[in-house]
Amino acid sequence: MKNLWNDMISLLPLQEFMSLTSVQEKLRAFAPCSIFYVDSLHVAWILHQFPSKLLHSSICIKLMVVLMPTIQQVNTLLSLSSTLTLSVSSYDVVMVALLLDLIMHSPMHYLIRHHAMTPRCLLNLLSFVEISS
């Protein structure tokens, strides 16, 4: 089976991603990170969960979902999802708690987007949706 997440990664500059360790040091928290995607829709979600007891009150919680804009079904699927994101300065950590039955693929990838390195205008192949929680 073709790994569509690898195709999405190729659309972005490599410096768009940084290690989970760097994020944990930034947030002073420890949490698992994994990627879920649905092959049939060619959609990818970067999931990152932080237990609320480990979060500092200064951390702003938002929604930031990375998805392919050409897939029409995404809006419907997104409405069925409960999503949150933790944003610390320039680091956007995507956390999507999906109500859908998605497929988890191994090995897990530990990636986090670092928007400070690449202007968003250069990321026109991906759509960014933000909603304050």
**Residue burial 61-74, b: 16+ Cβ < 10 Å; e: rest:** ebbbbbbbeeeeeb
Domain boundaries, the chain: 4-132
**Is the pTM above the cut of 0.75?**
no
pLDDT at residue 37, rounded to an integer: 28
pLDDT tens digits, 17-47: 334 344 444 444 433 333 332 222 222 333 3
pLDDT tens digits, 49-101: 334 344 332 232 222 233 333 333 334 444 434 333 333 333 333 333 332 22
